[in-house]
Structure 1
Amino acid sequence: MFLTRYERMIARRYLLPGRGEAFIFLVASISLVAVMLGVAALVVVMSVMNGFRVDLFDKIVGLNGHAVVQGYNGQLRDWQEIVQDARKTRGVTTAIPLIEKPLFAAFQGRTEAVLLRGMRMEDIEKNATIRDNIKQGSLASLKPGNKTIAIGSRLAEALGATVGSQVSLISVEGHATPFGTVPRIVSYRVGAIFEVGVYDYDKAFVLMPMQDAQTLLLMGNSVGMVEVNTTNPDKVEQILAPLAQKYADVAQVTTWKMMNRQLFEALKVDRLVTFTVLSIIILVAVFNILSSLIMLVRAKTRDIAILRTMGAPRKSLVKIFMTVGTTIGALGIGAGLVLGFVFIYFRQGVVNFIGFVSGQQIWDPSMRYLTTLPARTDPVEVLGIVVMAMVFSILATLYPALKAASTDPVQVLRYE
């Protein structure tokens, strides 16, 4: 929609307040602020929800892989063959044997339920989720036979343990005696403390070399499962279908979708509902633009009539008032984007400030899985928000613009 010189001049004049038009300008300003807040809210909330999903997925998959091949009885005796076949499967990038077992950890009278994970040292060192999140100590201290473990930061807080502490791991599957099964209790030195950023993992995970885990759990040379990563997490079922079919008698293939289906489905529903609700805020803001334009048309009826008698075509009036309305919407969208990105950049500081002022813990890691407020802005989503807000703004200008164009100069100027 190209404007002539006089159309641009008139549109610019109508955007600025005239004598006796302060109220119209106030309504237009409120419209601009409302659009700004609606766009900012959409950008912030969608970015946070995207960040929550992406961070949660990366951390969960970083520790659990895209799928696991797990023995029906909790053990895989021929795991070497499964690892080799998995690595030969097209689309599989890694296949890692590991042991996972729920146990109890005790230190100075405190006891916590933990999840023991035994891995080969080369696999531990290659795992970026653990390797890049060591807070205290070093993974180099974890050596087979050294009786050294790494624990999560939340677990360390709950037990009151630090690097160098002797933590006892308790396995209820101990030795059988004439008086019953005696729990197996072995002390290990804490060599490292990690924090991956997922509360449940930091609260429960205990990491040790696989040989030590096999000795503690009396598993011999067997493992509990084989963790598999693929080139495409969304097609993990199709990629691992041949492997699942081949070992259907001894093991079950469980994908990340099966393990976390309810969580990610809930996130998807929340994301859709939130987008719909916040879009209504923009729609309400756009109605303010409609109201301000209607008021402007009524205030400028005499000017419109004079323009018509001077030969201004109806099309010019439509373009002038559509330009005024879309300019208000565009300024609101631009300000909303700036406000949204500023909020995203300082999001953790804002959360901490609100918590400090209110005296409440706004972001509780025990309830929200992640220890910090995440954000991941999707350019396509931002573009969609901008387009949606702009379309709403343009639609809001149609009725006032057409109403102005239909003004009859004869009726307006009859009594002038």
Structure 2
Amino acid sequence: MILNAHEKMIAKRYLVPVKGERFIFVVAGFSIGAVALGVAALIIVMSVMNGFRAELFDKIVGLNGHAIIQGYEGRLPNWEEIVDAARKTPGVTSATPLIEQPLMASANGRVEGVLVRGNTVEDIRTNPILNDKVISGDLKSITPGSGRVAIGARLAEALGAYPGAEISLISPEGRSTPVGTVPRIVTYTVGAIFEVGIYEYDQAFVIMPMQDAQTLLLLGDQVGMVEVQVDNPDKVGQVLAPLQPLIQGRGVIVDWKKMNSALFEALEVERIAMFVVLCIIILVAAFNIASSLIMLVRAKTRDIAILRTMGASRGSMLKIFMTVGLSIGMIGIVIGAILGAVFLFFRQGVVNFIQLVTGQNIWDPSVRFLTELPSRTDPFEVAAIVAVTLVLTYFATLFPARGAANTDPVQVLRYE
């Protein structure tokens, strides 16, 4: 919208309050605040939702891979052939054998359900999700035959375990006796404690070398599954399709979408719903802008009539009041973006402060999966939020601006 010098001067004059117009300026200030709060709320909520999804995806995939080739009955025969074929498949970046079995663990008179994972030593030492999250002990001490395992931080708290402490793993696959099967109990030493940040994993995982897991579970040389990583997670089904004939009758391929479909679909639905609901805040702010402009037009009716008699066109009046309304909207957008950025930067401190003041754990990791409030801002979403706000502001200013442009100077000046 291009304004000449006189139009810019008048628009600037109407944006700055003078004596007797403080109330109109206060209403405009509330409109700016409403726009700022709406934009800030949208940026914060969408960034947190994106961060929540991204953190979950990175940590879940970091430990479970983009897909697993699961053997029937927990055993995958001829797994070496499958691993070799998977590594040669275009689009596959890695394929490693894996054993995973739910068992019981006991220590210090306490018993907890755990999920034993047998990984290759290379995978244990190079997995960034584990290596970057070790809070005590050393993953390098976990070697085949060492009798050492790594456990999650929440599990360590539940069992009262620490590096160097002993825990016993109880497997129902034991030796047969005349009175039935006797559970197999093997004692291990805690070599490292990690905190991935996903409560479910930190509460249950016991990680050990694959050879030790095979011994514990009496698997011989077999494994339970093969973990696969691909270069494009969104096309994991297409990438692994060539492996279907090879594993036919031996197992199934389950990708990350199937393993966590309910969770990620729920997050996507909630994300869209929150965007729509929070847009209502901006819609309310747009109505505030419209009301403040209507009051301004009513207060400036005599000025508009005089300007029209001096030669100002309807288009000039339209542009002046559209500029005033859009300026209010853009000021609100800038303030909202700054508020959103500040909140996201100090988000965890804000959560901790609210918890301290209220005495309530508003971010319980056992409910929300992650131990900290995540955030990941998408520039395209921020641009969409700005665009939606500008569009709503435009339509909110259109009616009062057209009212000002349609003012009849003859009728106004006749009664002034």
- Bin of the TM-score, shorter chain as denominator length: over 0.9
Greater shift in the superposed pair: 351-360 or 336-345: 351-360
Aligned match of 2:81: 81
Q: What's the C-alpha RMSD, in Å, of the aligned pairs?
A: 0.7
Name the CA distance, whole Å, in 2 between partners of 1:245 and 1:91: 18
Q: CA deviation at 1:415?
A: 3.0
Name the CA distance, whole Å, in 1 between partners of 2:18 and 2:136: 66
Q: Which amino acid aligns with 1:268?
A: E
Name the CA distance, whole Å, in 1 between partners of 2:246 and 2:77: 16
Aligned match of 1:71: 71
Aligned match of 1:250: 250
Name the CA distance, whole Å, in 2 between partners of 1:231 and 1:143: 29
Query: TM-score under structure 2 normalisation?
Result: 0.99
Q: CA deviation at 1:22?
A: 1.3
Secondary structure of 2:354's aligned partner: helix
Q: How does 1:225-304 map to 2 (within 5 A)?
A: 225-304=225-304
1:410 aligns with 2:406: no
Equivalent pair of 2:66/2:228 in contact (CA under 8 Å): yes
Name the CA distance, whole Å, in 1 between partners of 2:125 and 2:164: 20
Name the CA distance, whole Å, in 2 between partners of 1:101 and 1:42: 42
Q: How does 1:355-394 map to 2 (within 5 A)?
A: 355-394=355-394
Secondary structure of 1:73's aligned partner: helix
- What is the number of equivalent residue pairs in this alignment? 416
Aligned match of 1:196: 196
Name the CA distance, whole Å, in 2 between partners of 1:347 and 1:3: 41
Secondary structure of 1:76's aligned partner: coil
Q: Which amino acid aligns with 1:403?
A: G
Over residues 66-87 of structure 1, what are the superposed CA-to-partner deviations in whole Å (9 max), with x where a residue is unaligned?
Answer: 1101111211131111100111
Name the CA distance, whole Å, in 1 between partners of 2:94 and 2:193: 26
Q: CA deviation at 1:173?
A: 1.1
Name the CA distance, whole Å, in 2 between partners of 1:313 and 1:236: 62
Equivalent pair of 1:317/1:404 in contact (CA under 8 Å): yes
Equivalent pair of 1:153/1:193 in contact (CA under 8 Å): yes
Which ranges in structure 1 are unaligned for 5 or more consecutive residues?
Answer: none
Q: CA deviation at 1:131?
A: 1.3
Q: How does 1:149-164 map to 2 (within 5 A)?
A: 149-164=149-164
Name the CA distance, whole Å, in 2 between partners of 1:374 and 1:335: 23
Q: CA deviation at 1:246?
A: 2.1
Name the CA distance, whole Å, in 1 between partners of 2:177 and 2:86: 40
Q: Which amino acid aligns with 1:291?
A: S
Q: CA deviation at 1:245?
A: 2.6
Aligned match of 1:98: 98
Aligned match of 1:118: 118
Name the CA distance, whole Å, in 2 between partners of 1:112 and 1:255: 29
Q: CA deviation at 1:125?
A: 1.3
Name the CA distance, whole Å, in 2 between partners of 1:356 and 1:7: 53
Equivalent pair of 2:106/2:167 in contact (CA under 8 Å): yes
Secondary structure of 1:41's aligned partner: helix
Equivalent pair of 1:77/1:221 in contact (CA under 8 Å): no
Over residues 24-69 of structure 1, what are the superposed CA-to-partner deviations in whole Å (9 max), with x where a residue is unaligned?
Answer: 1111000000000000000000000000000000000000001101
Q: CA deviation at 1:123?
A: 1.4
Aligned match of 1:308: 308
Equivalent pair of 1:198/1:370 in contact (CA under 8 Å): yes
Name the CA distance, whole Å, in 2 between partners of 1:173 and 1:369: 31
Equivalent pair of 1:71/1:252 in contact (CA under 8 Å): yes
Name the CA distance, whole Å, in 1 between partners of 2:19 and 2:296: 13
Over residues 75-126 of structure 1, what are the superposed CA-to-partner deviations in whole Å (9 max), with x where a residue is unaligned?
Answer: 1131111100111111111000010000111001001000000011011112
Aligned match of 1:218: 218
Q: CA deviation at 1:224?
A: 0.7
Secondary structure of 1:113's aligned partner: strand
Secondary structure of 1:344's aligned partner: helix
Equivalent pair of 2:118/2:210 in contact (CA under 8 Å): yes
Equivalent pair of 1:308/1:409 in contact (CA under 8 Å): yes
Q: Which amino acid aligns with 2:122?
A: E
Over residues 136-173 of structure 1, what are the superposed CA-to-partner deviations in whole Å (9 max), with x where a residue is unaligned?
Answer: 00011101111000000010011111111001111011
Name the CA distance, whole Å, in 2 between partners of 1:77 and 1:116: 20
Secondary structure of 2:394's aligned partner: helix
Secondary structure of 2:376's aligned partner: coil
Equivalent pair of 1:149/1:189 in contact (CA under 8 Å): yes
Equivalent pair of 2:77/2:250 in contact (CA under 8 Å): no
Moved over 6 A (4+): none
Name the CA distance, whole Å, in 2 between partners of 1:73 and 1:358: 49
Q: Which amino acid aligns with 1:117?
A: R
Name the CA distance, whole Å, in 2 between partners of 1:365 and 1:415: 69
Secondary structure of 2:407's aligned partner: coil
Identity of aligned residues (%): 65
Greater shift in the superposed pair: 236-245 or 148-157: 236-245
Secondary structure of 2:74's aligned partner: coil
Secondary structure of 2:98's aligned partner: strand
Q: Which amino acid aligns with 2:287?
A: F
Name the CA distance, whole Å, in 1 between partners of 2:415 and 2:335: 44
